[in-house]
Structure 1
Amino acid sequence: MLDGVMRRLIDPPLDRMGRALAGRGVTADAVTLTGLAFGLIAAGLIALGWPGLALVPLLASRLADGLDGAVARAGRKTDFGGYLDVISDFLFYGAVPLGFVVMDPANGIAGAFLLLSFYFNGATFLGFAILAERCRMETTARGAKSLYFTGGLLEGTETIAFFVALCLWPGAFAPLAWGFGALCFVTAISRVLLARKVFPNG
């Protein structure tokens, strides 16, 4: 819901940083993998019981996630780069909840529900992107992307804020996970309804 607003705020400084990195020979794929590494380090720190410390690599991971696209725009965009970006995001989004479940197995049921909601939401997102590509649909509402990005109640900005809240208040993981997971289902179902409207004839 907030990604479109955030892109307008963060794209100009990210583009400047992206041009500087590309000028030094840094590739977008290297930035993507660096971001993924930071994200997995954050998940590992959470699993070890240090969610507060995990905030630093978690936020560094999301900075890299925004920066890889800026580097690609300043250098060379590739289909594989877009693919790598998406799968890295999905791995990160799954690793953080897993970290909280490992940290405290009492979080297991709420964590499983949260991951189920991510799985369903991700499936609707990717499925819509595939059909949009087939229909040659384009949008730049959330920046230039390799895939068609549909909006929703919950997007990347809200998910990052949710992860930060979990790190700050790990004892509230279960109610936060149930609530955010429910909103993910709302987002996913609304995307299914949108797909039914946009792609009525298959």
Structure 2
Amino acid sequence: MLDRHIRPLIDPPLNRIGRRIAARGVSADRVTLIGLGLGMVAALLIVLGAPLLALLPLLGSRFADGLDGAVARATRKTDFGGYLDITADFMFYAMIPLAFVLADPETNGAAGAFLLASFYVNGTTFLGFAILAEKHGHQTDAQGQKSLYYSNGILEGTETILFFVLLCLFASYFAPLAWVFGTLCFVTAGLRVRAAYRIYLT
């Protein structure tokens, strides 16, 4: 929901930085992997009971996630690069909730399982919609220039990052926050299925 409002603000500075990085011979795929590595460091810190310390690599990971596209635009966009980017994103989105579950399974287990299930369902509807959009030649740049169709929803990347920041700041409230956010993910998935039904029922 917020991505289309955030992109015009962050894309120009990201593009400038991306051009500088590309000029030094750093590939977009390398930036993607650096971002994934930072996300894994954040998850490890959460497991070790240091969610506040995890904020720095977590935000660094999301900065790299925005930067890899800018580097690709400054050099050459590839299908594999887009594939690697979405794979890294989904791994990051899975590992942060899992880290909170591993940090306190008794308190966070049920809520964490519900949250991960909602991510799974929401991700399935997202990728399925992208396949249908590609098949029908539909395009959008509302969330920026992407290698696949990004369907909008109540919860998008910006909301998820803000949610993860809240989890790190208020780790003791993981369970109630996860129940609420997971429910909204299921609602987002349902609305996306409804949109696909209305657009692609042929």
Deviation above 4 Å: which 4+ runs of structure 1? Answer: none
Q: What corresponds to 2:94 in structure 1?
A: 94
Aligned counterparts of 2:55 and 2:190: Cα–Cα separation in 1: 31
Matched, 1:144 2:152: no
Q: What corresponds to 1:18 in structure 2?
A: 18
Deviation at 1:15, TM superposition (A): 0.2
Deviation by residue 1:54-107 (Cα, 9 ceiling, x = unmatched): 000000000000000000000010000000000000000000001000110120
Deviation at 1:113, TM superposition (A): 0.1
Note the residue ranges of structure 1 that are not aligned, 5 or more in a row. Answer: none
Across the aligned residues of Structure 1 and Structure 2, the Cα RMSD in angstroms comes to 0.4
Deviation by residue 1:144-195 (Cα, 9 ceiling, x = unmatched): 1001000000000000000000000000000000000000001000000000
Residue correspondence of structure 1 range 45-84 to structure 2 within 5 A:
45-84=45-84
TM-score w.r.t. length of structure 2: 0.99
Amino acid at match of 2:103: M
Q: What corresponds to 1:134 in structure 2?
A: 135
Deviation at 1:36, TM superposition (A): 0.2
Deviation at 1:196, TM superposition (A): 0.2
Matched, 1:159 2:144: no
Q: What corresponds to 2:172 in structure 1?
A: 171
Aligned counterparts of 1:27 and 1:9: Cα–Cα separation in 2: 24
Deviation at 1:124, TM superposition (A): 0.1
Q: What corresponds to 1:109 in structure 2?
A: 110
Q: What corresponds to 2:198 in structure 1?
A: 197
Amino acid at match of 1:94: A
Aligned counterparts of 2:140 and 2:163: Cα–Cα separation in 1: 26
Aligned counterparts of 1:25 and 1:4: Cα–Cα separation in 2: 30
2:142 match: secondary structure: coil
**How many positions carry a matched residue from both structures?**
201
Aligned counterparts of 1:182 and 1:154: Cα–Cα separation in 2: 11
Aligned counterparts of 1:192 and 1:115: Cα–Cα separation in 2: 19
Deviation at 1:112, TM superposition (A): 0.1
Amino acid at match of 1:44: L
Note the residue ranges of structure 2 that are not aligned, 5 or more in a row. Answer: none
Amino acid at match of 2:96: V
Aligned counterparts of 1:109 and 1:57: Cα–Cα separation in 2: 26
Q: What corresponds to 1:182 in structure 2?
A: 183
2:154 match: secondary structure: coil
Amino acid at match of 1:98: L
TM-score w.r.t. length of structure 1: 0.99
